[in-house]
């Protein structure tokens, strides 16, 4: 395929993915807003008043970046996982694989859909936060944008990998339930890891979501529990690793070709 044809194919897949989640916006965009509102009310307003401050800022300001990042992670992952598995289950993914569309274009198209949903949800959650926080500061906007892009790309790739291996619709919920949810809650969304004993601080450093949350928090508040350079390096490294994994899986037709 030449460059012009590849761009048309990429645009087509991306539009299809965006149309898919926008058509059912009540199921894809409204629930995150409701869920995060409950988090703000329970953890921010009720619990936050008792805690007071965390790392020199109000507890509500502290958890805003983490809650936005949580919504980015879950939505980018679930969008691609459900979409690709549905295409595989309905057997129409085979038409795409036998077409002249290259594997990187297919991957980029699905990633684009996951990123689009994650970005829209992030904007919605940020808008919700204004009802609970007087001022949402952006100390380093570049890191905010960079962290969102890298995180949504990573979990879109993760959702694609999950969908490739999944054999039933129940299989695409295993990783979010037993892996993503525990790692997210233990990733410093609601607390600073500096409060943990030394041993558990060391254990927390093995959690990749910790670097995403803190990279995003650095963009908002200008402070983080890990060096921002390390956080960006971890994100970039995981993105490269997952892209290579997904590329090889699709190239070999794992879970797709009989």
What is the domain partition of the chain in residue ranges? 3-252
Q: Which spans in 166-207 are helix H? A: 174-175, 181-185, 198-204
Residues 6+ apart with CB under 8 A from 61: 133, 136, 137, 220, 221
Contact assessment for residue 217 and residue 210, using Cβ atoms and an 8 Å cutoff: no
More confident residue, 99 or 60: 60
CA distances from 115 to 27, 126, 149 (A): 17, 16, 7
What are 54's strand-pairing partners?
57
Placement of tokens 């507890």 in the chain: 59
Placement of tokens 């890990």 in the chain: 226
Contact assessment for residue 151 and residue 233, using Cβ atoms and an 8 Å cutoff: no
Residues 6+ apart with CB under 8 A from 213: 65, 66, 69, 187, 188, 189
> What's the whole-number mean pLDDT along residues 7-28?
93
Residue 60's pLDDT is: 87
More confident residue, 23 or 254: 23
Backbone angles phi, psi at 158, to 5 degrees: -65, -40
Contact assessment for residue 36 and residue 66, using Cβ atoms and an 8 Å cutoff: no
Residues 6+ apart with CB under 8 A from 253: 97
What are 57's strand-pairing partners?
54
Statement: residue 231 has pLDDT above 60: yes
- The structure's pTM equals 0.92
What are 53's strand-pairing partners?
58
Residue 258's pLDDT is: 52
Rounded to an integer, what distance in angstroms lies between the CA atom of residue 117 and that of residue 115? 5
Q: Angle at Cα 232 formed by Cα 18 and Cα 250, nearest 5°?
A: 45
142-183 pLDDT, tens per residue? Answer: 999 999 999 999 999 999 999 999 888 888 888 888 899 899
């Amino acid at each position: 395929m030449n460059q012009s044809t590849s761009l048309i194919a990429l645009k087509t897949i991306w539009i299809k993915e965006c149309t898919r989640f926008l058509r059912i916006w009540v199921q894809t965009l409204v629930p995150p807003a409701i869920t995060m509102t409950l988090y703000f009310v329970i953890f921010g307003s009720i619990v936050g008043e008792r805690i007071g401050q965390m790392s020199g800022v109000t507890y509500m300001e502290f958890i805003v970046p983490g809650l936005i990042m949580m919504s980015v992670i879950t939505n980018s992952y679930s969008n691609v996982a459900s979409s690709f598995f549905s295409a595989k289950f309905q057997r129409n993914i085979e038409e795409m694989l036998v077409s002249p569309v290259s594997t990187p274009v297919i991957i980029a198209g699905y990633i684009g859909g996951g990123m689009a949903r994650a970005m829209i949800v992030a904007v919605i959650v940020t808008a919700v936060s204004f009802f609970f926080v007087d001022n949402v500061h952006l100390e380093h906007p570049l890191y905010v944008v960079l962290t969102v892009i890298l995180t949504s790309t990573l979990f879109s790739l993760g959702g694609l990998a999950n969908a490739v291996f999944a054999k039933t619709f129940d299989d695409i919920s295993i990783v979010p339930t037993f892996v993503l949810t525990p790692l997210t809650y233990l990733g410093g969304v609601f607390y600073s890891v500096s409060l943990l004993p030394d041993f558990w601080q060391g254990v927390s450093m093995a959690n990749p979501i910790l670097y995403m949350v803190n990279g995003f928090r650095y963009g908002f508040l200008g402070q983080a529990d890990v060096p921002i350079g390390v956080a960006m390096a971890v994100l970039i490294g995981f993105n490269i690793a997952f892209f290579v994994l997904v590329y090889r899986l699709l190239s070999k037709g794992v879970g797709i070709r009989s």
